[in-house]
Amino acid sequence: MKTICIMNLKGGVGKTVTAINLAAVLAAQHGKRVLLIDADHQGNTSTFFGADQDGTTLREVLLGEAEPCWPESVQRTAYENLDILPASMSLAELDAAPKPEYAQCLWRLREFLLAVAEDDTYDFAIIDMPPAFSLSARAALVAADEVIVPIKLDAFSIDGMAELLRQIASMRKVNERLTLAGVLITMWRNVDVVNQAEKILRDSGVPVFSTTVRRTDIVDECTFQREPLYLYSPRSAASVDYRRLAEEYLERG
């Protein structure tokens, strides 16, 4: 099982949309068994899939109070091959945990996923990360194999990415497996400033996915309808792009 964090410290870059749609496409169109983990206390991914946020959540996993199996901890979604470990606002409370407890929490998601992997239930665990370097984010990076960084092409996002890459590099001290799978350009549109920023990014030496996700209002619509793009609007630009992203990722091996 490969564990992928979808992460950016800046909000509004398409992080949650990417986690939802990459997971959905891998499950529905490639037959991959996917566990989607919501590590953001706002719980948008959990709400999207109608998960029970009053039951076992990532908070209980980090506290060592959850069993690594369904139905005790992991919930089914309405979609075949796609399960979810939800989050709730209570997850944020752990950031104030005393230092010894905080340190223990950092390793529990990794332990949980190692136990899950032993049962060979999933091919991928995809983690929707918070826009902050919180306890849940650190725990996810300790557990992860790779990071995908969605980015909207503006100066603030590019500047912030440098700090994110430093944080990822620092986490390799405790998780030597952790690598950057690539930067994913989201909300792309064919205007000069975006094209110039894309060239700067692709020339920077940072791995960047060939696929870009085009900007479309359909993305906002699908969040209201709570349907992945491949179902809500299969021919829309973003839907096509997320299918291409899944194919590119799988081709990379």
Nearest alpha-carbon partner for 156 in 6, 5, 13: 13
Instruction: Please tell me the distance from the alpha carbon of residue 135 to that of residue 17, in angstroms, as a whole number.
Output: 22
**Whether residue 67 has pLDDT greater than 80:** no
Average pLDDT, the chain: 93
Quote the pTM value. 0.95
Residues 6+ apart with CB under 8 A from 148: 4, 5, 6, 7, 18, 22, 181, 182, 183, 184, 209
Question: On the CB side of 61, how many CA atoms lie within 13 Å of its CA?
Answer: 33
Instruction: Please tell me the distance from the alpha carbon of residue 5 to that of residue 220, in angstroms, as a whole number.
Output: 22
Nearest alpha-carbon partner for 84 in 133, 118, 48, 115: 48
User: pLDDT at position 248, please?
Assistant: 98
Q: How confident is the model at residue 189 (pLDDT cuts 50, 70, 90)?
A: very high
Min mean pLDDT across 59-73, 97-111, 224-238 is at: 59-73
Structure tokens at 152: 């909207």
pLDDT tens per residue across span 219-246: 999 999 999 999 999 999 999 999 999 9
pLDDT tens per residue across span 157-184: 777 778 888 888 999 999 999 999 999 9
Percent of the chain predicted with pLDDT > 90: 74
